Structure formats: C-alpha cells, structure tokens
Amino acid sequence: MTQDGAFSLDVQDRVGVLRIQRETKRNAFDAEMMDRLGGLCHEIERRDDIDVLILTGTGTSFCAGGDIAAWSDQTPLTFARHWVRDGHDSLDRLARLRQPVIAAINGHAFGGGLELAACADYRMAEEQVKFGQPEAGLGIIAGWSGTQRAVRRFGQQAVRRMALFGEILTAESALAMGVVDKVVGPGEALNAAKDVAKAVLQRSPLATELTKMLLNAAEGEERERVLESFAGHIAAASTDLREGVAAFQERRPPDFTRKGKDQ
C-alpha cells in the first residue's frame, strides 16, 4: 500500500483501491488534496498493474465535498482561478482515466463528493448513504462539473431536484433515478465493488479501455482527445511512421510507397 498524504493506494491482483483519508473532516477536500488527486490520476493512468480502479472513503464518510474552511476566505479571483479550475482539472483526470472507475460510496456524498462520484463509471452505494448538492444554500454554485458532468451522467431531473430544490436523495431514490447503479448493505460497498472489478478483469483490457474512451466521447467528455488518440494509434502502427522516422534519421526523402499498410 502506498500512503500519500490524505490518500492511500493499494494494488492487488490488478485492482487499485484509492482511499480518501481525511476522516476528521469527513474526507472533505482542501486545495492540496485536490492537486494531489490529479497527480495520483496521472500516476494511475500509466501503471501497467492497474486495470480497474475503486474509489472509496475511509471510515463512515465517502466525501463531504470541498472543505469550506479551505475556500470561504479566498478572493473571488483566486476562487475562480484556482479552487474551481484546479478542481475541474483533477476531476477531469479521474473521469478520463483509461481504467474503469468504480465508486464504493460508503458514506454521504454531498457537493464536491457527489461531483467526485460522478467521475466513476459505476457507483456502488450503501443503503444509509444520502446524496445532495447544497451549494446554493451557501450562496455558491457546484464548481467541479456538478451542473455539467453530473447532468450527463445522472440526468437532468435528478440534478435539478438536488441543485435547484435542495432535495436530499436516499440511496434507494438515487438508484431509481440513475444516480447510482447498485445499493448494498452498510459496510458492503468496497467488497461489492471488488466483485464488480473481478468481472471487468475477465474481459479484454484493451477492448475495455477503447470502449470507455468511445463512451466518454459519446457523451462529450473528451471527444477531441479520443479522436486524436485513435488516429494516432493507427498512424503509429503503420509502416509510414517507421519509414518517416528512418528517412529523418538518415537525412533522405521518405518513400511512402506502401500506403501505410502494416508489415
């Protein structure tokens, strides 16, 4: 297990478990944690020993969102430039990981915690968990894609009820509205998520990765990157690339006579 500040990463049998570990603050995020999450996602993306990632919280909390003490005294400009934009960057990295992400939601997910859960491809919630977007009650808006990615992944009406009308969803209500995929008993989310991860591991890792990229593109999550990634993969597999590099190194004109066909 790797301990990194308010996070730990445990990898066993190609499944990574990323835990948020700030239990005294109900796993609420401060600016340093948000930056570190982005760095951890960068690392996880490149690890060949992780094919599925599970995200969960330590103790009885999943994530209480952004720590009010961390942002409430910031100037409006600093708040917009760093708290909101940096948070977007880190959550975008989580949502766009090549590996499928399963959220094992072991405690309430409000505000930024709900936005964090929205980054997952599968959400497993314990029956005592509640969901909500309390930002308007604090005079602020959901700043980490709570009105964008959340709508794409939960649906318009579920987000409207939480964000505009302050409705708190129970786990069963969240299941009925498509906010979560499965509800389990107290203390069961992590093991249930591991069972889902095992099922993913029975499938082709490459096909799963490519399928996730296509699904993300279909909902507008990362369409430009996906298109260029697929095109780049095709070009990199062609003899044109090898000929072009060889010609550059040998300082001669390239001979693209094989029309980019694989050898």
Which pLDDT score is estimated for 67?
75
Residues 214 and 229 in one domain: yes
**Between 157 and 241, whose confidence is greater?**
157
Range(s) of the domain holding residue 102? 2-201
Residues 18 and 96 in one domain: yes
pLDDT reading at 97 higher than 50: yes
Inter-CA distances, 239 with 8, 60, 233, 251, Å: 43, 55, 12, 18
Pairing of strands 130-132, 169-170: antiparallel
Give the residue from 205, 191, 214, 219 showing the smallest Cα distance to 54: 191
Residues 151 and 219 in one domain: no
The total number of structural domains that make up the chain? 2
Of 160, 175, 201, which residue is a domain's last?
Answer: 201
Which pLDDT score is estimated for 143?
78
Give the contacts of 71 (CB within 8 A, at least 6 positions apart). 31, 79, 83
Q: 257 lies in a domain?
A: no
Which pLDDT score is estimated for 63?
92
Which pLDDT score is estimated for 137?
86
Residues 167 and 226 in one domain: no
Q: 255 lies in a domain?
A: no
Q: Which of 3-7, 195-199, 240-244 has the lowest mean pLDDT?
A: 3-7
Q: 258 lies in a domain?
A: no
Q: Which of 38-42, 104-108, 247-251 has the lowest mean pLDDT?
A: 247-251
Q: What is the pLDDT of residues 102-127, one digit of tens each?
A: 999 999 999 999 999 999 999 999 99
Q: Report, in this order, helix, strand and coil percent for the chain, each rounded to 5.
A: 50, 15, 35
Residues 6 and 63 in one domain: yes
Pairing of strands 122-126, 182-184: parallel
Residues 197 and 235 in one domain: no
Q: Which two tokens stand for residue 30?
A: 């401060």
Residues 39 and 155 in one domain: yes
Q: 31 lies in a domain?
A: yes
**Band of pLDDT at residue 136, cut at 50, 70 and 90:** confident
Which pLDDT score is estimated for 3?
66
Residues 235 and 175 in one domain: no
125 bridge partner residues: 105, 183
Give the residue from 155, 150, 79 showing the smallest Cα distance to 113: 150
CA distance 248 to 254: 8
Radius of gyration of the chain (CA): 21
**Band of pLDDT at residue 241, cut at 50, 70 and 90:** confident
CA distance 88 to 145: 7
Give the contacts of 121 (CB within 8 A, at least 6 positions apart). 100, 101, 102, 212
Q: 151 burial class (0-12, 13-18, 19+ CB within 10 angstroms)?
A: middle
**CATH number for position 86:** 3.90.226.10
Which pLDDT score is estimated for 176?
97
Given CA atoms 91, 109, 63, 85 in this order, what sign does their dihedral have?
Answer: positive
Residues 90 and 215 in one domain: no
Q: 56 lies in a domain?
A: yes
**Band of pLDDT at residue 260, cut at 50, 70 and 90:** very low
Q: What does the mean pLDDT of the chain come to?
A: 89
Mean pLDDT score, 164-186: 97
- H or E element in which residue 57 lies: strand 52-57
Q: 262 lies in a domain?
A: no
Q: What is the pLDDT of residues 71-89, one digit of tens each?
A: 667 777 777 777 778 888 8
Helix (H, G, I), strand (E, B) or coil at 207: helix
On the CB side of 189, CA atoms within 13 Å amount to 32
Residues 229 and 195 in one domain: no
Give the residue from 15, 24, 186, 184 showing the smallest Cα distance to 99: 15
pLDDT reading at 236 higher than 50: yes
Mean pLDDT score, 206-232: 84
Residues 195 and 216 in one domain: no
Residues 40 and 163 in one domain: yes
**Band of pLDDT at residue 138, cut at 50, 70 and 90:** confident
Which pLDDT score is estimated for 101?
98
pLDDT reading at 23 higher than 70: yes
**Between 221 and 37, whose confidence is greater?**
37
